[in-house]
Amino acid sequence: MQKYGSTPDHYAWTRWKNHKLRGQTTLRPVPGRLQLEEIKAAKMIHDPLTKLHVATSDGSAAAIVASERYVDEHDL
């Protein structure tokens, strides 16, 4: 967030947009339509992400970026 100037609102908007666009499915963990304020007001998991940021089954992915030195030091 420091490097690129993003804010918690950017992450909430991205979650809201992805939820809105993924279509209707009965298999999603968060039923119905999420509102932006609901996402921002949900229980904090790890600042700046709330439970509704991370409760997803819409094909999300994550990448962990680490230096070669860090990988070596932590035997990863």
Q: Let me know if residue 2 belongs to a domain.
A: no
The answer to whether position 1 is within a domain reads no
Scanning the structure block, which residue is given the tokens 């932006």?
36
Is 3 part of a structural domain of the chain? no
- Look at residue 62 and tell me if it is in a domain: yes
User: pLDDT band for position 69 (50/70/90)?
Assistant: very high
> Does the pTM exceed 0.75?
no
Distances from the Cα of 76 to the Cα of 53, 59, 65, 70, 73, angstroms: 27, 26, 12, 8, 8
Residue 20: the pLDDT is 72
In tens, the pLDDT along 14-43 reads 888 877 766 555 555 555 677 888 888 989
Contacts of 52 (CB under 8 A, 6+ apart): 15, 30, 34, 38, 39, 42
Number of separate domains in the chain: 1
Establish if 40 belongs to a structural domain: yes
Residue 15: give the domain boundaries: 8-73
Q: How many other CB atoms are found less than 10 A from the CB of residue 22?
A: 14
